[in-house]
């Protein structure tokens, strides 16, 4: 909350609380706590591994949110994703069940729009 205040943040963005990755859930919890300390600052979440949840997974009421056109930045986004070798290559080989971004998953992130879900207080 202090860092957001210091830079005059008008909104917070974090990974989605229903992502099956523990770090993403923990980040979502921290962002909620920060938002609670920042009166009037909205919180938005973006799914990463949430796109892979089975369709019958319960995640609460239908989400509301926004789409942001990112097509002009697709090359920069692809380069940023590719820089995370621990998540895009076999760099970490001791966890066969670990989270790794396969080509189909990366393709999802390189669509024309980014999806942000509004997180209510």
- The pLDDT tens digits of the residues spanning 97-120 come to 777 888 888 998 899 999 999 999
Q: What is the pTM (predicted TM-score) of this model? A: 0.84
Give the tokens for residue 117: 């879900």
Question: For 16-38, what is the mean pLDDT?
Answer: 95
- Gap between the Cα atoms of 91 and 21, Å rounded: 18
Number of domains comprising the chain: 1
Taking only the tens place, the pLDDT of each residue in 33-89 is 999 999 899 999 999 988 889 999 999 888 899 999 999 999 999 999 999 888 888
CATH no. for residue 95?
A: 3.40.50.10320
| Contact by Cβ (8 Å): 19, 47 | yes
| Structural domain containing residue 18 | 2-119
């Amino acid at each position: 909350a202090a860092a957001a205040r210091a830079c005059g943040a008008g909104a917070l963005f974090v990974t989605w609380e229903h992502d099956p990755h523990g770090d993403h859930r923990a980040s979502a919890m921290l962002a909620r706590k920060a938002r609670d300390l920042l009166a009037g600052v909205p919180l938005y979440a973006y799914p990463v591994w949430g796109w892979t949840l089975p369709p019958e997974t319960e995640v609460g009421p239908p989400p509301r949110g926004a789409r942001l056109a990112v097509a002009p930045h697709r090359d920069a986004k692809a380069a940023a994703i590719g820089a995370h070798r621990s998540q895009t290559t076999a760099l970490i080989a001791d966890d066969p069940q670990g989270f790794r971004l396969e080509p189909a998953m990366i393709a999802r992130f390189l669509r024309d729009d980014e999806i942000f879900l509004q997180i209510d207080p």
